[in-house]
Amino acid sequence: MSQTFHDKALAYHQEGRPGKINVTSHKKLDNDQDLSLAYSPGVAAPVREIV
């Protein structure tokens, strides 16, 4: 790796917000019940329908 590329890579990763990926929900997750419906134990109901 050239020093120029190395320096550019360091500068690239130092700028802006940390991280490169953003995960957003397609469902509302406003409270504990919403979270329980989306994940465990709520996800068990649709999984059982599939299986």
In which residue are the tokens 């509302």 written? 28
Distance, CA of 38 to CA of 11 (rounded, Å): 38
* pLDDT value for 16: 86
Indicate the domain borders of the chain. Answer: 25-51
In a 3-state reduction of DSSP, which class is residue 35?
helix
Q: How many Cβ atoms sit within 10 Å of the Cβ of residue 34?
A: 14
State the Cα–Cα distance between residues 36 and 43, nearest whole angstrom.
8
Residue found by looking up tokens 């994940």 in the block: 39
**pLDDT the model gives residue 2:** 87
CA dist., res. 7 & res. 51, Å (int): 51
If the chain, 51 residues long, is cut into consecutive pieces of 10 residues, what is the mean pLDDT of each piece? 90 85 90 93 90 84
pTM here? 0.50
The pLDDT value recorded for residue 34 is: 94
